[in-house]
Amino acid sequence: AAVCLGVLCLLLLTGLVTLVYQLQTSYTNLTKGRDQLQTSYNNLNQERDQFQKRVEDIAKEIIDLRKKLQGWVYFSGSFYHVSSTKKSWQESRDDCVQKGADLVIINSREEQVTCPRWIGLTDRETEGRWKWVDGTLLSQSYWILSEPNGHMLRDEDCAEISNHLFNSWNDDLCNSEKFWICEMTSLL
């Protein structure tokens, strides 16, 4: 009977050791799983915070762009701002540059408006050699008949859109005060 009791105790002890080992293994696996879940949770929280910050940054950029573009009109790949006050050609250009733009460069008949405005065209460097504010030479023009004529009469080195429908460009004294049009081709 003592031998049976000893064998039974040995079996019971073996079962308990096996059970403890299995419990320890399960506990270790659960701990690893929990740690992995915690790491994933922390990473997701960090990603969420980064996305939230990016959303806030984008919202701020949108607000800033709306402020920057207030008073601007989009047409054919560019933004345009039409002044409500009059200035000389250079003061007009300075105002455009301060806004991150420049005086308008007319690339098509559709870009023209039918009210007097300074445009970004001048022959101040060389008389009769008309250049846009970006440095390109004038190729397509919409001069009023007999314009430009400033070299004959007086020093008219800056171009404006006049009141005529089709060929509406006129050269005038650069210090004349007129409305102007700024053109911004990029928002950056």
The four Cα atoms 162, 167, 173, 178 give a dihedral, to 10 degrees, of 20
Single pTM value for the model: 0.63
User: SS in 3 state form for 121-173?
Assistant: EECCCCCCCCEECCCCECCCCCECCCCCCHHHHCCCCEEEECCCCCCCEEEEC
Q: What is the pLDDT of residue 110?
A: 73
88-144 confidence digits (pLDDT tens): 999 999 999 999 999 998 887 777 765 668 989 999 888 889 999 999 999 888 888
pLDDT band at 3 (very low <50, low <70, confident <90, very high): confident
CB atoms within 10 A of CB 155: 14
Cis peptide before 116 (omega within 30 of 0): no
The mean pLDDT of the chain is 87
Q: What's the rounded Cα separation, in Å, for the pair 22 and 156?
A: 98
Q: Which of the residue ranges 47-56, 62-71, 83-92, 160-169 would you say has the lowest mean pLDDT?
A: 160-169
188 pLDDT above the threshold of 70 = no
Q: What is the pLDDT of residue 187?
A: 65
Alpha-carbon dihedral sign for residues 7, 8, 10, 15: positive
What is the mean predicted confidence (pLDDT) over 70-97? Answer: 91
Q: Do residues 146 and 103 make contact, with C-beta atoms less than 8 angstroms apart?
A: no
Q: What's the rounded Cα separation, in Å, for the pair 71 and 85?
A: 14
38 pLDDT above the threshold of 90 = yes
What is the mean predicted confidence (pLDDT) over 169-185? Answer: 89
Which CATH superfamily includes the segment(s) 72-184? Mannose-Binding Protein A, subunit A (3.10.100.10)
Would you list the domain boundaries of the chain? 1-68, 72-184
H/E segment holding residue 73 = strand 72-75
What is the mean predicted confidence (pLDDT) over 20-46? Answer: 95
